[in-house]
Amino acid sequence: MRQRVKDRIAIVTGAASGIGEAIAMRLAEEGAWVLVTDINGEGAFKVAEEIRNRDGQADSLTVDIGKPDQIELAVRKVTDQFGRVDIFCNNAAYISKWHEVMEATDEEWRGCLDTTLLGTQNFTRAVLPWMIKQKRGSIIVTGSVMGHVAFPHSVSYSTVKAGLAGFVRSAAYDYGKHNIRVNLLSPGAIRVHYSPKPGNPVHDWQVKNTFLGRQGEPIEIANTAVFLASDDASYITGAIIPVDGGWSAM
């Protein structure tokens, strides 16, 4: 079977679990060498180990994308070994308990701004010179349906996820001339370890708001990420791609 990203070098952030883990696993299955990064270094190590156990190629590194020095270390780790970065998937985000405007704390705002928004900017800035040098690259950013439709009690998270859409469009415009594609994946309600379970009113509300009547699975996001990383998506850039069971179409 054809491997769509065979021999390409990829970095995936927030890859110790959930969507990021699924993206890292699928890229490896499709032939990429993957640097699995996460603030949870032990979790990242286990994902990379599982990739190798399945005859894939991967390494891991503890990275807090809110800290530019750790970003630089991650990019150096890859480029010192391979001299290039072909695929960058920025999935990491600041996850906490969010609030509405009057209750949102400076701490949650700073976390969302420094990690989710500026972390994406700083990591993208670090990989771009290598992609420009080789005149090719695919950058995939994980957004959220929360950046496109109204959600309660989530002003900081919803704001930065909406901001990522603008970031992706701007970067796609600026670097298309270098054959670098930049796209946004916009997941809806995806079943990860912190998702509400069946019987929880929030779970029922999520299901009600999708045409397909269910939560999605991380693999469904990962499959779309692999497509965007591959040459099958060679004419797609600046796109906001919802993988949300129809939620954002309501």
- 142: in domain: yes
- 178: in domain: yes
pLDDT, position 216:
95
Residue 2 DSSP one-character state? -
- 22: in domain: yes
Residues annotated as catalytic are 157
**Which structural domain range is residue 30 located in?**
9-249
**CATH assignment at residue 93:** 3.40.50.720
In DSSP notation, 86-97 reads -EEEE-----S-
- 2: in domain: no
pLDDT, position 168:
98
Task: Please list the alpha-helical segments (H only) found in the chain.
Answer: 18-29, 41-53, 68-82, 106-111, 118-134, 155-175, 201-208, 218-229
- 124: in domain: yes
Is the distance from CB of 241 to CB of 186 less than 8 angstroms?
A: yes
pLDDT, position 193:
82
Residues of the chain with pLDDT under 50: none
pLDDT digits (tens, 9 = 90+) for 37-48: 999 999 999 999
Q: Minimal CA–CA distance to 128: which of 170, 168, 92, 171?
A: 171
pLDDT digits (tens, 9 = 90+) for 86-136: 999 999 999 888 889 999 999 999 999 999 999 999 999 999 999 999 999
> Which phi and psi angles does 232 have, rounded to 5°?
-60, -20
pLDDT, position 98:
82
Is the distance from CB of 222 to CB of 185 less than 8 angstroms?
A: no
Number of domains in the chain: 1
- 1: in domain: no
37/58 Cα distance (integer angstroms): 10
Q: Mean of the per-residue pLDDT values for the chain?
A: 96
pLDDT, position 226:
98
- Confidence (pTM): 0.96
Q: Minimal CA–CA distance to 84: which of 137, 37, 124?
A: 137
Bridge partner list, 57 = 33
pLDDT, position 130:
98
pLDDT, position 60:
98
pLDDT, position 1:
73
Tell me how far CA of residue 137 lies from CA of 58, 85, 183, 197, in angstroms.
19, 7, 11, 38
- 185: in domain: yes
